[in-house]
Amino acid sequence: MKQATEQLLDDLLEDGAPPEFRAALLEKTLRSARRRKQARRFNMAFSAAAVAGLCLLSFWKMREPATVPDQIGQPDTMAVNSQPLQPRQIVTPQLDSVKEFVSTASTVTEVRTSESSGPYEEINDKQLLALLSDRLAVLVHYGPHQAELIILEPGN
């Protein structure tokens, strides 16, 4: 039994077509069908390769160790070179060395230096303690730019 396409070709070309034209038309139709079949095979092979690649990639990603964002990593090691403190830098507290500290407005005194360099002149620690030579005073350094001056009353 003839296929439907062959029967249509026979009906179309039965009276007026030469046999060479009929053979050429049949050859062109077969070539077109072969190309479509090759394209289908190529698309199937490409799809199979893509699926295999995706499976391989997902398996490879699953094997990598997962990093937990909440986990705290170890800090980088850092070497610190330090020197021991000098004995004059160490402060040791003594119990009951100051029983009471009283401050009143009359104990605050403004000290003016020369008027030529502006309203105030900056002095160093030795000059400050020299101004307070008649009182008991302690200058406590908390850091390179922070210090506190403690003045004790003569009766305490």
What digits encode the pLDDT tens for the residues 76-101?
777 778 788 787 777 776 666 666 66
Q: Structure pTM?
A: 0.32
Q: Sketch the domain layout of the chain as residue ranges.
A: 4-63, 92-152
Q: What percent of the chain has pLDDT over 70?
A: 64
Helix (H), strand (E), coil (C) string for 119-152? CCCCCCHHHHHHHCCCCEEEEEEEECCEEEEEEE
User: pLDDT at residue 116 above 60?
Assistant: no
User: pLDDT at residue 155 above 70?
Assistant: no
